[in-house]
Amino acid sequence: MKTKPDWWNGFDVSFRPVLDIVPVKQNNAMARYLIKKLGLRPGKRFLDCPSGPGRISIPLAKKGIRVTGVDLIQSYLDDLQRKALKRKLKVETICCDMRKIDFNSEFDAAANIWTSLGYFEKESDNLLVLRRAWQALKPGGKFMVHLVNRDWIMANFAPQHWFQSKDVHVMVENKFDYATSLMNGKWSFVKDGKITSHSFPLRIYTYHELRGMFAKAGFSDIQGFGSIEDEPISRDKRMMFVIGTKQK
């Protein structure tokens, strides 16, 4: 199965309802965790890349943090701006491929949240996402990646599962390629009796691999957690939170 560098284009419309599936309470808890782990304070600059429609940008902006949201999909950023306007918040948005951002020592902290890494066919492109984040940070700044844990997937592999977000039923069929660590997923969205399907591979990582990538991108003091309660990463933890620092 071949993927295009911009495979999210086309998938974006079908996937949009899924971005609202996490309850606001959980988004707020995630925002509080970012504040704690990345040392954010009112007035500090935070790069949310990719931000989607602002699931995390909005609660952070509410805390007085100066947020820049970057995403490939302009309609997601338009949603983010609508939410910000409604709450009288100021959030900067930039429509850009996450491999192409070109910030230099501008942000106090940055994050790539909710399995937004591993989208590119070339491993060097996935690493580039981390390198660009490192470049964007001020010395001393911290970066968090929050993504699905390959070890959990191996222990709990489900070739097929269903879930629902509002009026959309989603079926995900997964095949795992051991040679490449690519999870080839077919996502089918059922709404009003109409089915739309999209297929793409997602590179999934172990904590050990991610640590190596963080180090290659220039980060030091690399830490990993299996939950927002700071539990250790293990095969029982579905998600991981990996944090690195750009040394002063």
**Contacts with ligand SAM, residue ranges (CB under 6 A):** 8, 12, 19, 50-52, 55-56, 71-73, 76, 97-98, 113-116, 119
Nearest residue (CB) to ligand SAM, 115 versus 135: 115
Tokens of 97: 């491929």
Q: How far is the CB of 72 from ligand SAM (least distance, A)?
A: 4
Nearest residue (CB) to ligand SAM, 116 versus 245: 116
DSSP secondary structure letters along 195-243? EEEEEEEEE-B-HHHHHHHHHHHT-EEEEEESSTT-PPP-TT-SEEEEE
Nearest residue (CB) to ligand SAM, 15 versus 219: 15
Nearest residue (CB) to ligand SAM, 30 versus 137: 30
Edge-to-edge strand list for the sheet holding 92-95: 92-95, 66-71, 45-48, 107-112, 137-148, 239-245, 220-225
Q: How far is the CB of 78 from ligand SAM (least distance, A)?
A: 12
Long-range contacts of 220-224 (CB under 8 A, 24+ apart): 220/244, 220/245, 220/246, 220/247, 221/245, 221/247
Q: How far is the CB of 97 from ligand SAM (least distance, A)?
A: 4
Nearest residue (CB) to ligand SAM, 23 versus 193: 23
Q: How far is the CB of 193 from ligand SAM (least distance, A)?
A: 26
Q: How far is the CB of 120 from ligand SAM (least distance, A)?
A: 7
- Tally of CB atoms within 10 A around 76: 22
Closest residue to ligand SAM using C-beta atoms: 52
Q: How far is the CB of 67 from ligand SAM (least distance, A)?
A: 12
Between helix 207-217 and helix 123-136 the angle, nearest 10°, is: 60
Q: Is 218 exposed, middle or buried (0-12, 13-18, 19+ CB in 10 A)?
A: middle
Nearest residue (CB) to ligand SAM, 51 versus 206: 51
